[in-house]
C-alpha cells in the first residue's frame, strides 16, 4: 500500500517538474527569440 502511494507521488512530482520545466523553457524561448538544443535544455531541467 505504501509503495503504491510513494510511486504515485514520485510520478506526480516528475510530471509536475516536467510541466514546470517545459513552461519555463517556452517562456525563455519566447522572450529571447532563440531556441536552444533540446539536449542542453533537458540536461538543465533534470540537472537542477
| 2-48 pLDDT per residue, tens | 899 999 999 999 999 999 989 888 887 777 766 555 556 655 665 54
Phi, psi of 33 (to 5 degrees): 80, 15
CA separation for the pair 20, 18 (Å, rounded): 6
Q: For residue 38, what pLDDT is reported?
A: 58
Per-residue pLDDT, 10: 93
Predicted structure pTM score: 0.47
Distance CA 14, CA 7 (A): 11
pLDDT of residue 5: 92
Amino acid at each position: 500500500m505504501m509503495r503504491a502511494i510513494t510511486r504515485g507521488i514520485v510520478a506526480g512530482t516528475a510530471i509536475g517538474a516536467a510541466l514546470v520545466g517545459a513552461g519555463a523553457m517556452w517562456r525563455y524561448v519566447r522572450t529571447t527569440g532563440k531556441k536552444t538544443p533540446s539536449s542542453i535544455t533537458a540536461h538543465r531541467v533534470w540537472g537542477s
